Amino acid sequence: MAEYLTTDTGRTLAYHKTDGRGPGIVFLGGFMSDMSGTKAVWLEDWARAQGRAFLRFDYSGHGQSSGGFTDGCIGDWAADARAVLSALTEGPQVLVGSSMGGWIALLLARTMPERVHALVGIAAAPDFTEDSMWPGLSDTQRAEIMDKGQTTLPNDYDAPYTLTRRLFEDGKHQLVLRAPLPLPFPVRLLQGTRDDAVATSVPLRLMEHADCPDMRLELVKDEDHRFSSPRCLDLIARAIVEVSG
């Protein structure tokens, strides 16, 4: 059964926490994803077998947490992650960010670097609202967002997305690839070459932009955005072990 944390903002966040040795592992899910996904649950089982502390949770408007999805934005979900990290973990953590979760992890690294032991990005998607989502919309969809406040478009992986004007306006204030980005800890980026949601140019741009003494990218041939095949799950676990020392 999930447990719940009520934050200072009044949002109620569902989570599953496994006690164990540190550095703990915190899984940060993607846009419209929840903590019951393949990667989150598999990593929880793996961490338990390793005796490692592990935490997975739902952002507000996702999964079992309070709020509506269309009420949220990147800044809200980053605030949720900060609240969870502060209240439910101790000491520096290994942040494992999937897709949007990679952006959230970078925001955490910028605002509370003392709580980050290392970062593992899985198809990390920093700045995606500005760099890929908005440019990928049609003129009609962009006009609908500006005039009506939202638009809906299909999603290859789940239910259709409803995109709000607030999502894009807030996203402009959360960008991490436009200003210095110090990452003074190990970073591992994992990316499938058949990912049709996050281009391989994204992690390459992140590597070029970030100031990080220990940053590596591994491209995996023919894997897609889910990055949850058995070999991909093993690669994630291997990356966590590598940066945990």
* Cβ atoms of 12 and 66 closer than 8 Å: yes
- Considering 58, 99, 117, 244, which one is annotated as catalytic? 99
Name the active-site residue from 62, 127, 225, 244.
225
Residue 62 falls in the annotated catalytic set = no
Choosing from 58, 131, 170, 195, which is the catalytic residue? 195
Based on the residue annotation, tell me whether 225 is a catalytic residue of this protein: yes
Nearest to 32 by CA among 139, 128, 176: 128
* Closest listed residue to residue 14, CA positions, set 34, 41, 44, 40: 34
Cα–Cα distance measured from residue 232 to residue 192, given in angstroms and rounded to the nearest whole number: 9
Kindly give the interhelix angle for 38-50 and 230-243, rounded to the nearest 10 degrees.
50
What does each C-alpha distance from 203 to 29, 127, 188 come to in angstroms? 17, 12, 10
| Spatial distance between the Cα atoms of 52 and 18, rounded to a whole number of angstroms | 8
In what helix (H) or strand (E) does residue 93 lie, and over which residues does it extend?
Answer: strand 93-98
195 catalytic? Reply is yes
Q: Which residues are catalytic?
A: 99, 195, 225
